[in-house]
């Protein structure tokens, strides 16, 4: 009885950022971290129901941290040097770090560069191996106009997130939200997020 469920899903874009209120230092985060954090906040998960060290984060960034890399490097000749803050975000894992800090999550983290095809299975695997009871999956697509020209990709500024959890077998009670069972063949996280978040707003 090793069923894993998708408890909630959300899709956000840069258009959602101005209305976001996620602490006084939210403005310091780079675009990718802000989108990732907003996507997770939009899940409205009460993490208090989980042990902090048993909640994992699996994140993938389609273009690594290239947008922030470019922005950091643009500032290399400015008086006083390039921004130390920006340098801290020239890593795709910094977005996961910000999520961990904001929600106090100390469990295992996995961060990938590339598409969303591995996230669900890796997150589910963390739960099945008993390294976590719940796991966030976050997929970021952040490509600025300048970087789009360099890597011949379309510009993008979106993130989606979902939360996988083990069902509490004793109580049979879901911890939050409506539950969708994770299927073996579930690979396309992005479409799953879009589908679930659309269903939620319609229902």
Partner 1 sequence: MRESRVVIAGCGAISAAGCGIGPLYAALKKNLSGLRPLEKFDSPRFQSKMAGAAPGIFDDENPAWFLAAEALQQARESARQILAEIPAERTGLVLATTKANIAALERISENRPCSVIARRHLQANLLAEDLAKNFGARGPVQTVSVACVSGLAAISQGEKLIQRGEADAVFIVGVDCLSEFVVAGFSALKALDPAGCRPFDAARCGLSPGEAGTAIVLVRENFAADGKIKIRGFGGSNDANHLTGPSRDGSGLAQAVRSALKSANLPPDEIDFVHAHGTGTSYNDAMESLALKTVFGDACPPVIGAKGMLGHTLGAAGVIETICCVLAMQNDFLPGTPRLSVLAEGAPKSLLREPRFGVRLKNVLKLNTGFGGMNGALILSHE
Partner 2 sequence: MQISTHELKSKIIEALKLQDITPEQIDDDAPLFGTGLGLDSIDALELVVLLEKDYGIVIKDIEEGRPAFRSVKTLAEFIAAKRPAA
Binding site for partner 1 (CB under 8 A): 52-53, 57, 61, 63-64, 66, 69-70, 72-74, 76, 81-84, 87-94, 96-98, 100-101, 103-115, 118, 125, 129, 131, 150-151
108: partner contacted, choices partner 1, partner 2, none (Cβ within 5-8 A by kind): partner 1
Residue closer to partner 1 by CB (options 23, 114) is 114
Whole-angstrom distance, CA of residue 13 vs CA of residue 16: 6
Q: Which is nearer to partner 2, 28 or 117 (CB)?
A: 28
| Shorter beta-carbon distance to partner 1: residue 5 or 89 | 89
Please, what is the minimum distance in Å from the beta carbon of residue 154 to partner 2?
A: 27
Separation CA 138–CA 102 (nearest Å): 15
- Chosen from partner 2, partner 1, none, partner binding at 13 (C-beta under 5 to 8 Å by type): none
Rule CB under 8 A: which residues touch partner 2?
21, 24-28, 78-81, 83-85, 88
Work out how close the CB of 22 gets to partner 2 at its nearest, in angstroms, rounded to a whole number.
9
Q: Which of left, alpha, beta for 161 (phi over 0: left; psi -120 to 50: alpha)?
A: beta
Angstrom distance (rounded) from CA 98 to CA 69: 17
Pick 113 or 199: Cβ nearer partner 1: 113
- Collect all residues with Cβ–Cβ distance below 8 Å to 112 and sequence separation of at least 6: 58, 59, 60, 61, 92, 118, 119
Least distance CB 109 / partner 1 (angstroms): 5
Distance, in Å, from the CA atom of 161 to the CA atom of 104, rounded to the nearest integer, reads 17
Task: List C-alpha distances in Å: 97 to 107, 141, 173, 194.
Answer: 11, 17, 30, 24
């Amino acid at each position: 009885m090793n069923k894993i469920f998708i408890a909630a899903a959300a899709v956000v874009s840069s258009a959602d950022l101005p209305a976001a209120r996620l602490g006084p230092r939210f403005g310091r985060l780079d675009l990718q971290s802000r989108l990732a954090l907003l996507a997770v906040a939009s899940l409205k998960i009460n993490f208090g129901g989980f042990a902090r060290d048993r909640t994992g984060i699996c994140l993938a960034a389609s273009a690594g941290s290239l947008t922030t890399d470019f922005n950091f490097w643009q500032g290399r000749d400015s008086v006083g040097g390039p921004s130390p803050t920006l340098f801290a975000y020239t890593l795709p894992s910094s977005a996961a770090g910000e999520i961990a800090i904001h929600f106090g999550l100390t469990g295992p983290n996995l961060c990938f560069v590339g598409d969303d095809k591995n996230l669900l299975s890796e997150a589910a695997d963390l739960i099945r191996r008993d390294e976590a009871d719940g796991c966030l999956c976050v997929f970021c697509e952040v490509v600025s106009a300048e970087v789009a020209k360099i890597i011949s990709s379309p510009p993008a500024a979106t993130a989606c997130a979902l939360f996988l959890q083990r069902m509490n077998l004793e109580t049979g009670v879901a911890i939050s939200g409506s539950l969708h069972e994770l299927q073996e063949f579930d690979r396309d996280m992005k479409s799953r997020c879009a589908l679930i978040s659309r269903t939620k707003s319609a229902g």
